[in-house]
Structure 1
């Protein structure tokens, strides 16, 4: 990866943090009209709030300990920036839920993961709780000739989405290789699976009706 690409990604990440915070403050989640939203952030929220509270306590404590006024100001500015940045990270998960609409499923993790899967590519959905190795959000697993990609929260997923045929997804960790299954976290996996199964059935009926005509 070139230096220019690294800078571009860093800027995009920074902008995403502040946009998410702005949306959260204004209570305007990124959910298109007509789409059903399915949150996934509840498992990560306690950990993130712990870091936020500790950072908030640290700011006045460090200010009290440092004897140099100019350094206190600089450290306070950095502390407030870091605090808002962490709140923005939490906001990103809150305002970018998974969505399901007439086009299909949209899987997200904050503003950094955004994968759209149309109905014609979805074969089945089921509730299945899995642990994911490591701390990364996106993890690719090879299972024989099959490849599954997990979009995890706190190293776990709760919903398996089986694809009709291996599909190349816009996720860097897949390396452009097609995957057969998409696994994702959801606060209410049963509700998400019910909605997906309804959408699969509706799409199959619509397709059959179109073929009949």
Structure 2
């Protein structure tokens, strides 16, 4: 019973945050970075896919309405299908909005890593030994993926099955994830649309010099 209530609470919170993101985006009220901070987007890898899904879902609404109108005599069924179709389109737009208005943020204290409103944690600069730009492809579609290597545990924050920025840490660091604290990771990888700009700014905050590398 407790697990069911916990799951219901997470669903309600997720739905509320989705609609809040949609309204903020429509009202052009993004989550503005604080003074001295700079935002970096990461929606580029999935933007075409999301737009295609939204467009196809919108086209499906009138098509299904015509089919139901000619195959089912119940007005209630048509209204329910119409309502679900509209809700689905708005939900997809809300997901798009969440990715748009919650960017990564580099500020004097560290790098705030985000993915919509579900992933949100900060890596302090003093914990970072090196930062590099490198494109990597992953097989899974999950946003949070853990990879165990000989060098240690790698935490991937994935967008469109990709990462483009590597944060190599001085020592294992545990961060807050939607499911709770992560296992200590020695490296955190994330995706940014402009990894070169993010890496350049990040290196200015590192306590030790970091050799220049280019995205591969």
Task: Give the TM-score normalised by structure 1.
Answer: 0.90
Query: Could you list the per-position Cα deviations for residues 110-132 of structure 1 after superposition, in whole angstroms to 9, with x for gaps in the alignment?
Result: 00000111121111110111111
Residue 141 (structure 2) pairs with residue 135 (structure 1): yes
Inter-partner Cα distance in structure 2 for 1:87 and 1:116: 27
Of the three residues 107, 116, 120, the one matched with 1:101 is 107
Q: Secondary structure at the match of 1:30?
A: coil
| Counterpart in the other structure of 2:189 | 183
Report the Cα offset of residue 154 of structure 1.
Answer: 1.0
Of the three residues 23, 46, 49, the one matched with 1:47 is 49
| Counterpart in the other structure of 2:18 | 17
Report the Cα offset of residue 173 of structure 1.
Answer: 6.6
Q: Is the 8 A contact 1:159 1:184 kept in 2?
A: yes
The within-5 A match list for 1:1-213 is 2-34=3-35, 35-67=37-69, 68=73, 69-171=75-177, 176-201=182-207
Inter-partner Cα distance in structure 2 for 1:53 and 1:176: 36
Query: Could you list the per-position Cα deviations for residues 165-203 of structure 1 after superposition, in whole angstroms to 9, with x for gaps in the alignment?
Result: 1111112678642000110000000000001001115xx
Report the Cα offset of residue 108 of structure 1.
Answer: 0.3
Q: Is the 8 A contact 2:130 2:167 kept in 1?
A: yes
- For these two proteins, the number of residue pairs brought into alignment is 203
Q: Is the 8 A contact 1:31 1:97 kept in 2?
A: no
Task: Give the TM-score normalised by structure 2.
Answer: 0.89
Q: Where is the helix percentage greater, Structure 1 or Structure 2?
A: 1
Q: Secondary structure at the match of 2:100?
A: helix
Q: Is the 8 A contact 2:119 2:178 kept in 1?
A: no
Deviates more, 1:59-68 or 1:100-109: 59-68
Q: Secondary structure at the match of 2:98?
A: helix
Inter-partner Cα distance in structure 2 for 1:169 and 1:134: 21
Q: Is the 8 A contact 2:41 2:193 kept in 1?
A: yes
Q: Secondary structure at the match of 1:181?
A: strand
Q: Secondary structure at the match of 2:30?
A: coil
Report the Cα offset of residue 31 of structure 1.
Answer: 2.8
Q: Secondary structure at the match of 2:44?
A: coil
Q: Secondary structure at the match of 1:117?
A: strand
